[in-house]
């Protein structure tokens, strides 16, 4: 097996085209046992960064994901908006917030968030709290990613939205209700009253009265659950909070539940129906201290690696079989168990023990869409057809992940059928009848990654079984997991 040294695979040292050796063990070599800990959760980190930046006083985040590009974009943005950030402790970050009101410099009122979708959605909603018009923009791909549904909800709350280029996509400028002349009335203290009838996607009502006054909006299913989470995070700092109703259900409900659980954990006052058809967020959040759990989306790659390597035990630290995580992806291992793998839980670690007889499954991944490509990598070696529902949100990620998977996995002879049975939310994954060619002289394959971290990380898993694979643009993992390939190389020790 070629030398594959973690010390040579730091992000800055990664080549433009990274060849990956097939995994193997020499005769007499002990089975691999290794424990890995992914970086802190991106989803929790960015939620906590926003809340800390808006809260009064100083908050501390332990084990955050600060080295990744997404978090760096969020950190730069909150500092541009008046929060102060102390990163002198390598394992923690201290943020002094703005007490619920962004301080916008009119000469520096554009936030460039590159392709950081979470930061873009969260800060777009949080522009409700800005004291001057705020423009949100990003890279070329971000300027193709839809945000109109969130913008329409902000218009219902009194904002004025101006698109600077393509309608419905960044860059867009948001002027808050205060700037548009919409102020709380004496009869409904703190309620936001729209200057015009609501446009698109729902209705709005204001409950009159005293302390029970609230702004309420009804939300149809959205292209991204981040639109909902963005409003929930911002609502804590609105004068009377916000009530959200979902008469037709919620997209990717697990992420909305994560936001709700985080707010509860930090001491915010929330109420919700058991099915999340109604969520009420009341105003008020104090400075806080938070320990951020490892990223469950990052953990899915190591659980998938365990599924593909029956002679290895890859433990992921920070998770257990009895899932208490805030993250929906923490349940990914249960799908691998359905495929014939065995779960091994010990000392706050969870490993997936693979099998040579993987079997296809039918599953619904609407609560863990970021893990679909991890499952696809395993399904490539499960004879038969795996059917996955809950995938339509993959169209509007860092790339169109469904089309990207179709193109790249076809290089192995794997067929992905989307719009399965005319259902845009379903696809199937079928490896070749004779199986993927894993012989030593299998033709070289170079996988393109579409500037998408999850494409790079999931496609790398295929090299564990199939030789002669190269990953193009491996540095795109910087978005959420900068040391991914260093961890990947540890599998070869």
DSSP string, 412-426: GT-EEEEEETTEEEE
Q: Considering the domain boundaries, does residue 352 fall inside one?
A: yes
Give residue 70's pLDDT band: very low, low, confident or very high (50, 70, 90): confident
Q: Which two tokens stand for residue 300?
A: 């899915």
- What is the rounded CA–CA span in Å between residue 201 and residue 219? 6
Same domain, 208 and 258: yes
**Among the three residues 245, 263, 283, which one is the final residue of a domain in this structure?**
283
Same domain, 82 and 11: no
Q: Considering the domain boundaries, does residue 219 fall inside one?
A: yes
- What is the rounded CA–CA span in Å between residue 93 and residue 100? 20
Same domain, 324 and 465: yes
Q: Considering the domain boundaries, does residue 1 fall inside one?
A: no
What is the domain-level CATH number for residue 200?
3.65.10.10
pLDDT greater than 50 at residue 186: no
Q: Considering the domain boundaries, does residue 357 fall inside one?
A: yes
Tell me the Ramachandran region of residue 438: left when phi exceeds 0, alpha when psi lies from -120 to 50, beta otherwise. alpha
Give residue 319's pLDDT band: very low, low, confident or very high (50, 70, 90): very high
pTM (predicted TM-score): 0.84
Which SS3 state, helix, strand or coil, does residue 110 take?
A: strand
pLDDT greater than 70 at residue 278: yes
Same domain, 388 and 473: yes
Q: Which two tokens stand for residue 229?
A: 């989470």
- What is the rounded CA–CA span in Å between residue 457 and residue 39? 14
Q: Considering the domain boundaries, does residue 484 fall inside one?
A: yes
- Tell me the sheet residues that pair with 95: 59, 85
Cα distances (Å, whole numbers) of residue 68 to 22, 126, 476: 28, 22, 10
Q: Which two tokens stand for residue 221?
A: 């299913």
What pLDDT does residue 179 have? 63
Same domain, 363 and 430: yes
pLDDT tens digits for 438-493? 999 999 999 999 999 999 999 999 999 999 999 999 999 999 999 999 999 999 98
Same domain, 64 and 210: yes
Q: Considering the domain boundaries, does residue 308 fall inside one?
A: yes
Same domain, 54 and 203: yes
Q: Considering the domain boundaries, does residue 385 fall inside one?
A: yes
- Buried b / exposed e across 414-433, counting CB within 10 Å, b at 16+? bebebebeeeebbbbbbbee
Same domain, 340 and 435: yes
Q: 370 an active-site residue? A: yes
Q: Pick the catalytic residue from 370, 418, 452, 473.
A: 370
**Among the three residues 283, 306, 339, which one is the final residue of a domain in this structure?**
283
Cα distances (Å, whole numbers) of residue 237 to 28, 147, 215, 232: 62, 22, 13, 10
Percent of the chain with pLDDT over 90: 84
Same domain, 193 and 63: yes
Same domain, 430 and 373: yes
pLDDT greater than 60 at residue 197: no
Q: Considering the domain boundaries, does residue 288 fall inside one?
A: no
What pLDDT does residue 191 have? 32
Give residue 407's pLDDT band: very low, low, confident or very high (50, 70, 90): very high
- What is the rounded CA–CA span in Å between residue 84 and residue 474? 32
Q: 215: buried, middle or exposed (CB in 10 Å: 19+, 13-18, 0-12)? A: buried
Determine the average pLDDT of the residues in 71-95: 96
Residue 359 or residue 25, greater confidence = 359
Same domain, 198 and 318: no
**Among the three residues 283, 314, 339, which one is the final residue of a domain in this structure?**
283
pLDDT tens digits for 115-163? 999 999 999 999 999 999 999 999 999 999 999 999 999 999 999 999 9
Q: Across all residues in the chain, what is the average pLDDT?
A: 91
Give residue 321's pLDDT band: very low, low, confident or very high (50, 70, 90): confident
What pLDDT does residue 28 have? 84
Q: 15: buried, middle or exposed (CB in 10 Å: 19+, 13-18, 0-12)? A: middle
Q: How many domains does the chain have?
A: 2
Same domain, 47 and 187: yes
Domain enclosing residue 82, as ranges: 42-283
Determine the average pLDDT of the residues in 317-321: 88
Percent of the chain with pLDDT over 70: 92
């Amino acid at each position: 097996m070629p030398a594959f040294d973690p010390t040579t695979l730091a992000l800055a040292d990664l080549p433009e085209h990274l060849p990956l050796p097939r995994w193997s063990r020499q005769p007499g070599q002990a089975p691999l046992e290794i424990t890995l800990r992914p970086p802190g959760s991106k989803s929790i980190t960015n939620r906590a960064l926003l809340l800390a930046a808006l809260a009064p006083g100083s908050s501390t985040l332990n084990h955050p994901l600060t080295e990744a590009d997404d978090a760096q974009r969020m950190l730069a943005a909150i500092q541009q908006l008046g929060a102060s950030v102390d990163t002198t402790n390598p394992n923690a970050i201290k943020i002094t917030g703005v007490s619920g009101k962004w301080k916008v410099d009119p000469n520096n009122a554009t936030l460039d968030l590159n392709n950081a979708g979470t930061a873009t959605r969260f800060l777009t909603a949080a522009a409700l709290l800005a004291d001057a018009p705020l423009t949100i923009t990003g890279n070329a791909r971000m300027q193709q990613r839809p945000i109109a549904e969130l913008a329409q909800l902000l218009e219902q709350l009194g904002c004025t939205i101006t698109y600077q280029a393509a309608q419905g996509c960044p860059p867009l400028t948001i002027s808050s209700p205060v700037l548009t002349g919409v102020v709380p009335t004496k009869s409904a203290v703190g309620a936001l009253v729209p200057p015009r009838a609501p446009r698109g996607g729902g209705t709005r009502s204001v409950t009159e009265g005293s302390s029970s006054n609230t702004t309420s909006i009804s939300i149809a299913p959205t292209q991204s659950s981040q639109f909902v989470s963005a409003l929930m995070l911002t609502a804590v700092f609105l004068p009377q909070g916000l009530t959200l109703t979902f008469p037709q259900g919620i997209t990717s409900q697990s992420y909305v539940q994560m936001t709700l659980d985080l707010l509860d954990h930090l001491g915010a006052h929330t109420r919700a129906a058991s099915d999340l058809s109604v969520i009420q967020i009341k105003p008020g959040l104090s400075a806080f201290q938070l320990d951020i759990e490892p990223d469950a989306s990052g953990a899915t790659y190591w659980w998938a690696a365990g599924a593909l390597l029956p002679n290895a035990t890859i433990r992921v630290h920070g998770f257990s079989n009895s899932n208490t995580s805030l993250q929906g992806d923490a349940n990914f291992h249960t799908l691998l168990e359905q495929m014939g793998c065995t779960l091994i839980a010990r000392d706050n670690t969870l490993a997936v023990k693979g099998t040579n007889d993987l079997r296809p499954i039918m599953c619904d991944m609407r609560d863990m869409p970021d893990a679909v490509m991890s499952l696809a990598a395993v399904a490539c070696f499960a004879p038969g057809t795996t059917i996955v529902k809950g995938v339509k949100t993959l169209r509007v990620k860092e790339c169109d992940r469904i089309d990207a998977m179709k193109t790249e996995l076809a290089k192995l002879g794997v067929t992905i059928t989307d719009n399965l049975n005319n259902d845009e939310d379903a696809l199937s994954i079928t490896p070749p009848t004779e199986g993927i060619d894993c012989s030593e002289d299998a033709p070289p394959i170079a996988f393109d990654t579409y500037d998408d971290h999850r494409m790079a990380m999931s496609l790398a898993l295929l090299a564990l079984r199939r030789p002669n694979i190269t990953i193009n643009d491996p540095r795109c993992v910087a978005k959420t997991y900068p040391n991914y390939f260093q961890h990947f190389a540890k599998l070869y020790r």
